Amino acid sequence: MHIEILFITLTVAWIILGTSFLKLHPVLVLLIGSLFLGVCLEIKLINITFEIFEGFALTSKKIGLLILFGTLIGTSLEKSGATSVISLGILKKFSKLPLTYVVSLTGFIVSIPVFCDAAFVILSTLNKKLSELSKSSKTTLTVALSTGLFAPHVLVPPTPGPLAAAATLDLENIFLLFICGGILALILALVGAFYSENFIEKSNVLSKENIQSLLSQSQSESFLSFKLASSPIWVPILLMSLRPLINTKFSFLSSPIFALFIGVVISLYISKKTNLKYLLTTSIKQAIPIIAITGMGGALGSVIQNIDVVSWFKEMNSISSLGIIIPFLIAATLKTAQGSSTVAIITTASIIAPMLAVFGLENEIGKVGAILAIGVGSMTISHANDSYFWIVSQMGGLDVKTAYKTHTIATLIQGLIGIVLLLIIYNLLVIL
């Protein structure tokens, strides 16, 4: 038992060292980690190779199309200007709220299909404009936007991290993950807004004249309505929600792959003025590295399954109470040490997959809880080794010291509140 724990600890330490200090590509780091762990477990080299290949292939098959479709939707919304239309539509609907909450809600919606770093770059210009028009603190709005974007990025499909974790843990009900992750992400986005509003500097409400000016400018630049611009987001959600109502013969209509495919078709229609070849090429370039990392995480998980994890915990009482904490701690450690939320999610999911039954998380609700715990762990915390930290600081106009005091602290608070909420809900479900 102790020697196997040591082997896994050394593998995790290598992943941190390889990605953070040696700056190697995560795929290579995970491959070497899988080989190292296999050798330590005294598995024959030919069997290690087979297990790595099988784990990579099965995971990529499960998740590859979903990641590609999600990436294509995000790219299309980005290039067509739909993200700006969505942002201004939210601004109009919630104009009576302080700007921090409006900006945070905007980030929450936009980050579901669009990667948080790309979304921040897109929305940073609008954020600065809002700061100028309302005479609100730029730092306040920057942190509200960064935290609003960050929460769904690690918790809500079709972003790659949650999808990869779902594939690794064999979660079938992606819609359940979407709903639960969406609710938690919304709460944590509002936590970020509350922190920005009350612990940085209060924002102002934008005047009707300024809102109308922004909307008029948007309408002159884009042919899209809010309903059409946001349809690649809400149509797939609607399709997946119909699953309990659809006859078994037509259940494919509510499957995540078909729902996202319809989202892709709509997003391509919205982006009809953008070169199709460019959209496909850009999306594939973004998706392939993520699919490769996800597949290699599956390979590591395949090797880990050779360890009899159940025997580690046979003599421990109330081990199920640790079910949510363990994934959170592993993900938070990996995130803080090496910087990438996606790598932290994929690696943690691979490590805990064999432990689900031990922690009482083997059913669909338990798997969703584990994935959300991994998600909030992977946002704890964003600092200098995280590329998103630098995008927020540079595009948001924050110096490094200010970014640490605001953005980094905000992500720490989001992560801690997230795991506390999950623990409360999880323990209530256990009692019931």
pLDDT digits (tens, 9 = 90+) for 170-197: 998 899 999 999 999 999 999 999 999 9
Tokens of 147: 């935290």
CB 63 within 8 A of CB 294: yes
HSE at residue 284, side-chain half, CA atoms within 13 A, is 6
Of 397, 431, 3, 381, the residue nearest 192 (C-alpha): 381
pLDDT at 261 over 90: yes
pLDDT at 320 over 60: no
Q: Cis ω on the peptide bond leading into residue 381 (within 30° of 0)? A: yes
Give the whole-angstrom CA distance, residue 386 versus residue 390.
Answer: 7
Of 118, 197, 190, 203, the residue nearest 153 (C-alpha): 118
Tokens of 255: 């499957």
Tokens of 76: 């299309």
CB atoms within 10 A of CB 337: 17
pLDDT of residue 151: 96
pLDDT of residue 86: 87
CB 126 within 8 A of CB 107: no
pLDDT of residue 309: 60
Of 360 and 282, the structure prediction assigns the larger pLDDT to 282
Give the whole-angstrom CA distance, residue 157 versus residue 70.
Answer: 8
Give the whole-angstrom CA distance, residue 274 versus residue 147.
Answer: 30
Of 380, 403, 283, the residue nearest 333 (C-alpha): 380
Of 146, 94, 100, the residue nearest 119 (C-alpha): 146
* Angle value at C-alpha 154, between 149 and 157, nearest 5 degrees: 95
Average pLDDT rounded to a whole number, residues 77-88? 85
* Angle value at C-alpha 148, between 330 and 415, nearest 5 degrees: 25
Percent of the chain predicted with pLDDT > 70: 93
pLDDT at 316 over 60: no
Q: Which residue has 């998103």 as its token pair?
A: 388
Of 374, 412, 413, 418, the residue nearest 171 (C-alpha): 374
Which residue type, as a one-letter code, is found at position 169?
L
Structural domains of the chain, count: 1
Range of the domain at 178: 2-431
pLDDT at 221 over 70: no
Give the whole-angstrom CA distance, residue 90 versus residue 85.
Answer: 9
pLDDT at 405 over 90: yes
As a whole number, the mean pLDDT across the chain is 87
Give the whole-angstrom CA distance, residue 204 versus residue 43.
Answer: 63
pLDDT of residue 418: 97
pLDDT band at 311 (very low <50, low <70, confident <90, very high): low
pLDDT at 9 over 70: yes
CB atoms within 10 A of CB 135: 9
pLDDT of residue 34: 92
pLDDT of residue 408: 95
pLDDT of residue 420: 95
158-169 tens-digit pLDDT: 888 899 999 889
- Ranges 84-98, 114-128, 308-322, 353-367: which has the least confidence: 308-322
CA-derived radius of gyration, the chain: 22
Residue 108 CA, chain-centre distance (Å), reads: 11
Q: Say which DSSP state 136 is in.
A: -
Q: Is 172 exposed, middle or buried (0-12, 13-18, 19+ CB in 10 A)?
A: exposed
Highest mean pLDDT among 19-23, 209-213, 327-331: 327-331
